[in-house]
């Protein structure tokens, strides 16, 4: 019995330690998770993901999602009409705010929040200081001037593990027409 | 119990393949809203009509359905601003088209407003669908 329990305990340890998702600044700090939380909502995927990468909620604070997802705001969504039927709008808004960056334990979300002033409510992920800083060294021709990328907002064109895993590490970047980035 | 699971499995697997054209049902809802005698010719005229872009638009190019859906409805289209690829409209090559009422409501609303600056009437929607159904 004790042996069985120990075996089970060992298995749990192995499972946890093998999850590479854990990373921390130092041994003593609270472990934080890599990337952003990769959560999915089928309504969000179909309603928003039909036009663009369904950005993970952890890429913006809740206050940004609230502003973006106002019914009026959706009528002029960066120049496009992105109106939703009310039940869909509310479900998606709830999903986005529940998993927003604010209280996240994921590394990228924490850094996004830290880089924002408390009174700033960015409507674009590309306006977040942390995101801007992380991309500041990449020449314009590789993003905006790159026909296969077109815009910094097309995360998944270069971040090959973003869509499925919410991983944005440098070593997972592959810029179309250019190659790896280091 | 086993039959129940079998039923669940069969239904579960069968449903993706059951995407079918619901234009006839949509036309009935437009009729219920007062529209009638849907006309493919009128639909085609609307589909091809060019509207001036609003003054505050990024691009002054005239707007039309074709602008993004393309001239050949059996081919992929591309959004003129974002470049987003749009599946072919023609049922003959894309049988998944016109199989989801919610999606159709969503895009009719958004796209009519984008092209014409207002929502389409039930009559206009019925005419357009009647035209598209033949492609």
Q: What is the pLDDT of residue A27?
A: 58
Distance between CA atoms of residues B109 and B96, nearest Å: 20
A81 vs B58: CB contact, 8 Å cut-off? no
A33 within 8 A of A21, measured Cβ to Cβ: yes
B110 vs A82: CB contact, 8 Å cut-off? yes
- Say whether pTM exceeds 0.90: no
Which chain B residues are Cβ-neighbours of A83 within 8 angstroms?
106, 109-110, 113
Instruction: Tell me if B40 is assigned to some domain.
Output: yes
A83 vs B102: CB contact, 8 Å cut-off? no
Does B84 contact A at CB distance below 8 Å? yes
Residues A142-150: contacts with CB under 8 Å, at least 24 apart: A142/A175, A142/A177, A142/A178, A146/A175, A146/A176, A146/A177, A146/A178, A147/A177, A148/A176, A148/A177, A149/A175, A149/A176, A150/B83
Residue of B nearest to A151 (CA): B82
B99 within 8 A of B19, measured Cβ to Cβ: yes
Q: If DSSP codes are grouped into helix, strand and coil, which group holds residue A94?
A: helix
Q: Which of B83, B111, B113 lies nearest to residue A150, judging by beta carbons? A: B83
Q: How far is A166 from chain B (nearest CA, A)?
A: 22
Mutate to test the interface with A, among B16, B82, B99 (most CBs of A within 10 A): B82
Q: Which of A51, A75, A84 lies nearest to residue B84, judging by beta carbons? A: A51
Instruction: Tell me if B14 is assigned to some domain.
Output: no
Distance between CA atoms of residues B89 and A177, nearest Å: 31
φ, ψ for residue A155, nearest 5 deg:
-45, -50
Instruction: Tell me if B6 is assigned to some domain.
Output: no
Distance between CA atoms of residues A75 and A180, nearest Å: 38
Cβ contacts of B45 within 8 Å, gap of 6 or more = none
Q: How far is A152 from chain B (nearest CA, A)?
A: 13
CATH number of the domain enclosing B84: 1.10.760.10
Q: How far is B110 from chain A (nearest CA, A)?
A: 5
Structure tokens at B115: 């092209």
Q: What is the pLDDT of residue A15?
A: 47
Q: What is the mean pLDDT of residues B94-123?
A: 95
Q: What is the pLDDT of residue B76?
A: 97
Residue of A nearest to B115 (CA): A81
A106 within 8 A of A37, measured Cβ to Cβ: yes
Helix, strand, coil shares of chain A as percentages rounded to 5?
Answer: 45, 5, 45
Q: What secondary structure letter does DSSP report for A143?
A: T
Give strand ranges (E) for B7-115: 77-78, 85-86
Q: How confident is the model at residue B1 (pLDDT cuts 50, 70, 90)?
A: low
Instruction: Tell me if B9 is assigned to some domain.
Output: no
Instruction: Tell me if B1 is assigned to some domain.
Output: no
Q: How far is B84 from chain A (nearest CA, A)?
A: 7
H or E element in which residue B41 lies: helix B40-48
Does A86 contact B at CB distance below 8 Å? no
A176 within 8 A of A150, measured Cβ to Cβ: no
Residue of B nearest to A81 (CA): B110
Distance between CA atoms of residues B1 and A168, nearest Å: 46
Q: What secondary structure letter does DSSP report for B56?
A: T
Report CA B105 to chain centroid distance, whole Å.
8
Q: What is the pLDDT of residue B83?
A: 82
Cβ contacts of A113 within 8 Å, gap of 6 or more = A61, A101, A102, A104
Distance between CA atoms of residues A108 and A112, nearest Å: 6
Name the domain count of chain B.
Answer: 1
Q: How confident is the model at residue B82 (pLDDT cuts 50, 70, 90)?
A: confident
Mutate to test the interface with B, among A54, A72, A81, A146 (most CBs of B within 10 A): A81
pLDDT (tens, 9 = 90+) of chain A, 182 residues, equals 556 666 665 555 444 444 444 554 555 666 679 999 999 999 999 999 989 999 999 999 999 999 999 999 999 999 889 999 999 999 999 999 999 999 999 999 999 999 999 999 999 999 999 999 999 999 999 999 999 998 999 999 999 999 999 999 999 999 999 999 87
Does A149 contact B at CB distance below 8 Å? no
Domain assignment of residue B95, given as a range: 21-133
Instruction: Tell me if B10 is assigned to some domain.
Output: no
């Amino acid at each position: 019995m004790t042996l069985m329990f120990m075996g089970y305990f060992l298995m749990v340890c192995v499972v946890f330690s093998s999850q590479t998702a854990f990373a921390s600044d130092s041994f003593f700090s609270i472990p934080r998770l890599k990337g952003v939380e990769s959560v999915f909502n089928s309504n969000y995927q179909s309603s928003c993901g039909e036009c663009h990468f369904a950005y993970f909620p952890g890429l913006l604070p809740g206050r940004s999602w609230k502003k973006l997802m106002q019914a009026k705001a959706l009528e002029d969504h960066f120049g496009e009409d992105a109106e939703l039927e009310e039940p869909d709008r509310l479900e998606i808004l709830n999903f986005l705010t529940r998993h927003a960056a604010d209280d996240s334990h994921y590394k990228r979300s924490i850094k996004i929040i830290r880089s924002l002033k408390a009174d700033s409510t960015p409507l674009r992920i590309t306006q977040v200081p942390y995101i801007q800083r992380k991309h500041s060294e990449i020449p314009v021709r590789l993003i905006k001037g790159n026909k296969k990328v077109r815009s910094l907002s097309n995360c998944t064109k270069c971040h090959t593990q973003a869509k499925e895993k919410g991983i944005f590490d440098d070593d997972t970047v592959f810029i179309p027409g250019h190659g790896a980035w280091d | 119990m086993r039959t129940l699971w079998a039923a669940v499995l069969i239904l579960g697997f069968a449903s993706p393949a059951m995407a079918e054209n619901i234009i006839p049902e949509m036309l009935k809802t437009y009729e219920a809203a007062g529209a009638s005698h849907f006309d493919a010719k009128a639909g085609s005229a609307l589909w091809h009509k060019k509207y001036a872009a609003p003054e505050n638009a990024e691009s002054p190019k005239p707007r039309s359905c074709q602008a993004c859906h393309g001239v050949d409805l059996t081919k992929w289209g591309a959004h003129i601003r974002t470049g987003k690829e749009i599946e072919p409209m023609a049922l003959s090559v894309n049988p998944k088209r016109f199989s989801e009422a919610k999606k159709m409501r969503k895009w009719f609303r958004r796209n009519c407003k984008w092209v014409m600056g207002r929502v389409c009437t039930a009559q206009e929607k019925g005419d357009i669908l009647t035209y598209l159904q033949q492609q």
